[in-house]
Structure 1
Amino acid sequence: MTEQHAPPMPDDNELLAVPGDPDLAGGHRHFARPLFGVDVSVPDEVDRQETAALCLALGDDALVTALRLGEWLTGDLGPADTAALAGIGLDLVGQARMLLARSGQLDGTGRTEEELARGRAAEGFRNALLCEAPTEDLAFGAGRLLLLSLWRAVLFETLVDAADPVLAAVAAMGLRELAGHADLAARWVVRLGRGARTSHRRMGEAMSAVVSHLDELCEASPPCGLDPAAVRSELERRLAPVLSAAALTGPDESPAHRRAHPGGGRAGQHQYLEQMLTEARQEVPLHAAASR
């Protein structure tokens, strides 16, 4: 398989190196002046610390998921799937940049997105544990991408009306992107679920592992004005037709199948993130790789 190069960036800011396809950069509008026309001043009614925490968690989710997607690009995927996956990585990096930058503006530290991406230890990250879980195979990667995309869309549908104009703009832009992410992931899940016996079994096992993270996603999520039970109910409603089309059963609600998350990633307690960050920070920065 040919080597994947990192996508170009519009300026000299660096994020953790996430492999991508430079030919896709022109199709991702958020990399070019994404907040053009948006009033970036902070309204008086915005709770700065709460909104900063929300932006940080959502930005970390996007960045860490993009890192895992970058690892997936080295797998045995066809050209079309590789290009689509690289595009999703670009979308998520774009969301991470804007959300992390806004977090640094709101929390009073003035930290840039690059400083937040590269300057924190693992315990300073607030991503959900599902984002950092190793991509065991296509089935797990597809299931994770599906669940995270649907969950993020549920949140963003509320955040388009956020008091902070930057967060609202990122949510509106992200909704268009997440619809495409979920559609691609759903097609993979259905294809594998309706495949041969081994493929069907593995897709079922992967979805069981993925949905075991529902508690952390829905109950330990950053504050966004939504009732956790309502988020879970809506997420399961959107997930149900995909699982049905894939001939898979719905989430197992029994305690034995629910992953414990005391503290969890939202509290800075991670399982795989430290190694991920160490490896990513040794990679060539995005803009430097693009200039090669």
Structure 2
Amino acid sequence: MIPREVLQKIRRIQIRTSHLADNMLAGQYHSAFKGRGVEFEEVRPYRIGDDIRAIDWNVTARTGEPFVKLFREERQLTATLLVDLSASQGLGTHWQSKRELVAELGASLAFSAISNNDKVALTLFTDNIEKAIPPRSGSRHVLRVIRELLYCQPMGQGTNISRVLEHLNHTAKRRSIVFLISDFQDSGYEQALKVARRKHDIIPIVVSDRREFELPNVGLLELVDSETGQVVMIDTSSHHQRQLYTQQAQQLADQRDQLFKRLRMDPIHVQTGEDFVDPLRKFFHQRECRR
């Protein structure tokens, strides 16, 4: 039985994200992603400026006038959400945790997909595959996606991106738009990412919290790695210690972004306490321009 407060949260997210998708994101989502192919629709008389490669020579020869073929894009795609539920997703030093941000983000993407008649699949992972929901369409299906994003209680603590990408390769029969949503606190997944991107259109979405990059001056602070349990003491009154913490965090982030750059991937960066709509719209617009 799902607790009442969780049901209320699901309902709030449904109302907010369906509104965002209908009014701000769905059109740009449609423009950003291509269908699987094209289907012949009809022929019409040639007009100045038409691509001569589209001329239907059989109809042209039969009528004595040039005609061109028109094609309709086959729109239905599958949007697959690969969502990190590792223990580090519980961090949140604003009014929301990373997991709550991910739930709203995932719901917005799911509503945008079904608004364009696409299917949505969901895989939740930690250092193992926690749950996999096959692709379906419809608002009832999106409600299930939201519920799992909020309510699924993972067994694992760590992060294994290679494993979820291998699972994707084994289970997804057709090319998908894959939103890989994680804080990417993992390593050694470059090869798995290379293999997966050959078949799928993979978009990394990096979720972070400000305190992962900067610490307040509050004296001695005990930091616990939620995934490994490792404990570290830091004297935050020391400017050098705070600066070293920031440098190390930024170095790891730069290494991750360099990997995406080498693989020609465009990551989306979102942060707790901030609006995720603008980064999504900017990404969709850039994809549309490249098309």
Please report the TM-score for the alignment, with normalisation by the length of structure 2: 0.29
Larger radius of gyration: 2
